[in-house]
Amino acid sequence: MAMSFLVFGAALSRGADLTRISNETGVPVATLQAERTSTGLGWGGLEKAHLLANASGQSFDTITGKFQGGEGLAEALATAWAAWATDVAGKQEANNASREGIPSM
């Protein structure tokens, strides 16, 4: 009886975790389940990979490729941060250039 409760509780917990990860990343539960099988990443790795992909504008496949290639979370974050910072800097330069010639009020 106690064993069935533990198994049932673990299944409920996993389902709740999947739902939370799905809600936070915008990725359907079924997709997360398939990605876990195809990438070999755990639930936490999948969550991190999707959040990094969303934040950096890089694809999920690019991020998981970095993890699978032995790049740790710190390196993946640094790469994602650099890509994001470069993108923001480019947008700021374009914005500043478009403002030139517009009289101040």
CA distance 54 to 65: 15
pLDDT tens-place string over residues 48-80: 889 888 887 889 998 888 877 777 767 777 777
* Cβ proximity of 102 and 73 under 8 Å: no
Residue spans of alpha helices (H) in 1-105: 2-25, 29-39, 43-56, 60-68, 73-99
pLDDT digit string, tens, across residues 6-55: 444 444 446 678 999 999 999 999 999 999 999 888 898 899 889 888 88
Q: Which residue has the tokens 């890509």?
A: 83
Decide if 50 contacts 68 (C-beta within 8 A): no
**What's the CA gap between 69 and 40, in Å, rounded?**
12
Q: How confident is the model at residue 102 (pLDDT cuts 50, 70, 90)?
A: low
Q: What is the pTM of this model?
A: 0.60
Residue ranges per domain, the chain?
46-93
